[in-house]
Amino acid sequence: MSYYLSATFWVPLLYTAVMMSAPLLIASIGELFAEKSGVLNLGIEGIMITGASVGFIVSFLTKSNFLGVLGGATIGFILGLIFAFLVTTLELDQILTGIGVWIAGIGLGTLFIHEVNGVTTGSRIQTMGAFEIPLLSRLPLLGDILFSQNLLVYFSFILVPITAFIFYKTSFGLRIRAVGENPEAADSRGINVHRTRQWCVIIGGILAGIAGAYLPLAYVGSYSHMMTAGRGFMAIAVVIFANWNPSKTILGALIFSTSIAFQIRLRAVGVDIAAPLLHMIPYIVTLVALVIITRRAGAPSALTKPFIKKKGS
Amino acid sequence: MVDLDNFRKEITPPLIGVIIAFFVIGIFLVFSGTNPLSAYLRMFTGSFGSIYNMAETLAVATPLLLAGLGIAIALKTGYVNLGVEGQLLIGAIAAAVAGLSFSVFKPIHLTILIIFCFAAGAAWSLIPGILREKFGSNELITGLLLNFVALYLVNYLVEGPLMQEGALFPQTARIHATAMLPRLLPRGRLHMGFIIAIIAVFLTYIILRKSVFGYELQMIGENPDAALRAGIDVSRKKLFSIIIAGGLAGLAGMGLVLGVHRRLMAGISPNYGYLSIAVALLGRLKAIGIFIASILFAAMLVGGDTMSRAEGVSFTIVYVLQGLIIIFLLLSDKLINR
C-alpha cells in the first residue's frame, strides 16, 4: 500500500498527467477564443484529427517535429477559416455545421495518410524530446514533474496567461467579449462582429491543429485512425468546466489528464482493473464536475447565436 | 394537396448538397489519380448491383433510419440529440443482456426485447435532460460524454462479464435463437429490424404531420415562448420527444445485436449514431426524406467499401463525402431558402 503513496508511483503519474494536459489545454484555449466571441465550434474534434494527421505526415517527411507542429497549425488555420466563413459570413447553424466539419474530419485525417506516398498508419517518428529548464528542472519532485517536459507543454503553460491578458487587458479582448455577450450592441458601437468572430475561430482552429499534432509528435510517435478519441469534446467540456475563465482551464485540463494518467500508470504497475472501466474515468469525472460546478453565468450570452446584421442599419 | 412550390423548396437543398459534395470529392479523386466515374460506379454497383448488395445496404440503412427518425422528432423542438451514439449502444447492451440471459417463446421474447431496448435507450437519453433540469448542465456536452461512457461499457462487458468463453475476440456468445430477429432473405443480413424501421417511418409521418403532438413540437421549435403562452406544457412535450428519440436509437442498437451480428461485440456501431444526425438533416426532418437519406448514406458506406477495395482509395473518403454533404446542404438551404 505504501507504494501507492510513494514518489516512485506519483512522480511518473503526475509527469504523464502534465504531459497529457498540454493537448487538452491548447485545444481548450482555442475553443475558449471561439466561444468567448459567441461561436461554439463542435468541429474542433475533426480539426484535431486532421491536425494530428498533417502534423504527423510533415514530421515524417521532413524529420522535423517543429515543422510538424507548423503543419498541424496550418491545416487548423485552413479548417478554422472555412468554419468561420460558414458560421459568420454565411450565418449557418453552428452546431450542425460543426457536426459536418467533424464527420469530414474523421475521414480527412486518415485519407491524408493514405494519399501521401510512403506514410502509413504503421509509420513511426521520433517523438519530441524533453527540454530540461536549467535550474528549475533540478528542483526535487517538481523539477521532474513540471520542468522536464517537451516544449509544447511549456507553450501550453504560457498560453493561459497570454489568453487572460488578451481577454481582459487589450482592446481586441474587449471586442471579443462584446461580440460574445451582445453582438447587436457591439455592432452599433462600430465593432465588426463577423470579423472579430472570424479571428477568434481561426485562432481556435490553429490551436486545435497544434493540439492534434501534439498526439503523434509528442506522445505516441505514430498516427492511428480517430486517435484523438474525443479529446476535442473533452476540450469543450473543459471550457464549460472552467466557466469560460482562461485560468481555470488549467484545472479542468489537469483533472482530465490526471485521470488518463492514472489509468496508464495503474496498468503499467500491473493493477488488475478492467481497462475499459479505467478509460471511463475521465468522462465520468467531467460529467460529475459539470454537474457540481455548472453555473452558466459565465457563458457568453450570444453563444451559438448567429449575428444577422439588420438591413439598412 | 401536393404543394409543388414547397416540395421544390424542400428537395432542392439536399439534391444540390449531394451533387456538389460528390463533385468536390470527384475532383479530389482526379488529383489522386483515380477515375471518379469508375470509382462512383463501383460505389453504386457495390451497394445496388445485386439483390445481396441491396439487402446489405438496407441492413446498414436500418439503424441510420431508426436513429435518424428520433433525431428529427427531438430536433423539431430544437434539441440536438448528440447523445444518440450512446443511446444506440445502450440499446445494444440491453439486447445482448436480454437475449443471452433467458429464452421463452419467440414472439414473447422479441416483444419483451423491443420494449426493453426502447426503454434502455430512452432511459439513457433522459440523463442529459434530467441533468439540465436539475443542475443546468449543457445537454450537448453531457450527451457527448455519456457516449464515451456507453462505448467503454460495451468494451467492458464484452471483455469481461459477458465475454464468450474461449473467444479470441472481445465478444459475447450468440444470443438465444428465440431472441434473433428473423432474416428477410435467404442470403445476407437484412433482418426484421428493417420492417420495424418502416413502421417507425409511418408512425413518425403521422406524429409529425397529422397529430397535435407533432404540431406542438413544431411550435416549440419555432417559438418556445409563444408555445408556452398558447398553453403548451413545453418542458413535458420536449422530454417526451427526447424519450422517443432515445428509444428509437435503442431499437437501432437492438437491430445490430439481434438481427445483424447475433451477439454484442466491441465496435458494433461504426459511428451509426453520429451519422444518423446527418441522415436526419439530409432528410429535412421528414419521415420519407429520412428514409431516402438513410438508404443513400448506407449505400455510400456499403458501396464505399467496394470502391475502396477496387480502386485503392481510402475508405474514410466516405466520411469526408458525408461531412461535405451536410455542409453543402446547410449552405444551399441558406442560399436558396432565405
Residues 6+ apart with CB under 8 A from A123: A56, A60, A222, A223
Percent of chain A at pLDDT exceeding 90 = 55
DSSP character at residue B270: S
Contact B43, B301 (CB under 8 A): no
Strand partners, B171: B265
Q: Using CA atoms, how far apart are residues B239 and B67, in angstroms rounded to an integer?
A: 17
Contact A295, A243 (CB under 8 A): yes
Closest CA to B282 of B317, B336, B338, B322: B322
Contact B249, B87 (CB under 8 A): yes
Cell digits of residue B115: 420494449
Interface test with B, best of A87, A88, A94, A111 (most B CBs within 10 A): A111
Residues 204-233 (B) with a CB less than 8 A from some CB of A:
none
Q: Using CA atoms, how far apart are residues A301 and B73, in angstroms rounded to an integer?
A: 27
Contact B323, A100 (CB under 8 A): yes
Strand partners, B191: B183
Whether the per-residue pLDDT at A311 is higher than 60: the answer is no
Q: Which residue of A has its CA nearest to B161?
A: A274
Closest CA to A15 of A126, A128, A130: A130
Whether the per-residue pLDDT at A312 is higher than 50: the answer is no
Q: What is the pLDDT of residue A277?
A: 84
Q: Using CA atoms, how far apart are residues A263 and A250, in angstroms rounded to an integer?
A: 20
Note if the pTM is more than 0.95: no
Torsion sign across C-alpha atoms B230, B235, B240, B241: positive
Cell 510533415 -> residue = A58
Higher pLDDT, A263 or A311: A263
ipTM of the complex: 0.90
Q: Is A280 in contact with B149 (Cβ distance < 8 A)?
A: yes
Q: Using CA atoms, how far apart are residues B333 and B10, in angstroms rounded to an integer?
A: 9
| Contacts with A240 from chain B: Cβ below 8 Å | 138, 141
| Mean pLDDT, rounded, of chain B | 92
Q: Is A104 in contact with B319 (Cβ distance < 8 A)?
A: yes
Whether the per-residue pLDDT at B184 is higher than 50: the answer is yes
Cell digits of residue A102: 467533424
What is the phi/psi pair of residue A306, to 5°? -65, 145
Query: Which of B80, B278, B320 lies nearest to residue A107, judging by beta carbons?
Result: B320
Query: pLDDT, tens digit, for every residue of B83-112?
Result: 999 999 999 999 999 999 999 999 999 999
DSSP character at residue B18: H
Q: What is the pLDDT of residue B338?
A: 65
Contact B61, B293 (CB under 8 A): no
B14-38 mean pLDDT? 93
Is the CB of B24 inside 8 Å of chain A's CB atoms? no
Q: Using CA atoms, how far apart are residues B46 and B53, in angstroms rounded to an integer?
A: 6
Contact A43, A100 (CB under 8 A): yes
Q: What is the pLDDT of residue B2?
A: 57
Residue B199: how many CB atoms within 10 A of its CB? 10
Alpha-carbon distance B332 to nearest alpha carbon in chain A (angstroms)? 10
DSSP string covering chain A, please? -GGGGSHHHHHHHHHHHHHHHHHHHHHHHHHHHHHHTT---TTHHHHHHHHHHHHHHHHHHHS-HHHHHHHHHHHHHHHHHHHHIIIIIS---HHHHHHHHHHHHHHHHHHHHHHSTT--TT---PPPPP-PPTTGGGSTTHHHHHSSS-HHHHHHHHHHHHHHHHHHHSHHHHHHHHHHH-HHHHHHTT--HHHHHHHHHHHHHHHHHHHHHHIIIIIISS--TTTTTTHHHHHHHHHHHTTT-HHHHHHHHHHHHHHHHHHHHHHHTT----HHHHHHHHHHHHHHHHHHH--GGGS-TTTTPPP-PPTT-
Closest CA to B266 of B147, B164, B150, B155: B155
Number of H-type helices and E-type strands within chain B = 13, 0
Alpha-carbon distance B100 to nearest alpha carbon in chain A (angstroms)? 22
Higher pLDDT, B226 or A266: B226
Query: pLDDT, tens digit, for every residue of B62-89?
Result: 999 999 999 999 999 988 899 999 999 9
Query: Which of B136, B142, B149 lies nearest to residue A296, judging by beta carbons?
Result: B136
Strand partners, B183: B191
Q: Using CA atoms, how far apart are residues B117 and B264, in angstroms rounded to an integer?
A: 14
Interface test with A, best of B27, B79, B138 (most A CBs within 10 A): B138
Contact B272, B279 (CB under 8 A): no
Is the CB of A230 inside 8 Å of chain B's CB atoms? yes
Whether the per-residue pLDDT at B1 is higher than 60: the answer is no
Least confident of A281-290, B48-57, B160-169, B303-312: A281-290
Cell digits of residue A45: 474534434
Contact A242, A25 (CB under 8 A): no
Higher pLDDT, A17 or A2: A17
Percent of chain B at pLDDT exceeding 70 = 99
CA-CA distances (angstroms) from residue B210 to B66, B206, B207, B297, B298?
20, 5, 6, 28, 29
| Mean pLDDT, rounded, of chain A | 88
Q: Using CA atoms, how far apart are residues B84 and B16, in angstroms rounded to an integer?
A: 27
Closest CA to A208 of A26, A19, A20: A26
Interface test with A, best of B75, B145, B272, B284 (most A CBs within 10 A): B145
Q: What is the pLDDT of residue A310?
A: 64
Contact B253, B35 (CB under 8 A): no
Q: Using CA atoms, how far apart are residues A65 and A45, in angstroms rounded to an integer?
A: 22
Q: Using CA atoms, how far apart are residues A57 and A112, in angstroms rounded to an integer?
A: 8
Q: How confident is the model at residue A313 (pLDDT cuts 50, 70, 90)?
A: very low
CA-CA distances (angstroms) from residue A188 to A160, A181, A185, A232, B206?
31, 13, 5, 34, 46
Q: Output the CA angle A92-A41-A286, nearest 5 degrees.
A: 140
Q: Is A100 in contact with B326 (Cβ distance < 8 A)?
A: yes
Tallying the residues shown for chain A, one arrives at: 313
B264-291 mean pLDDT? 94
What is the phi/psi pair of residue B86, to 5°? -65, -40
Contact B85, B248 (CB under 8 A): no
Query: pLDDT, tens digit, for every residue of A129-141?
Result: 888 888 888 888 8
Whether the per-residue pLDDT at A57 is higher than 90: the answer is yes
Q: Using CA atoms, how far apart are residues B281 and B272, in angstroms rounded to an integer?
A: 14
Pseudo-torsion of CA B226, B231, B234, B237, nearest 10°?
A: -130
Closest CA to B164 of B90, B265, B69, B242: B265
The highest-confidence range among A109-113, A163-167, B238-242, by mean pLDDT, is A163-167
Q: What is the pLDDT of residue B177?
A: 95
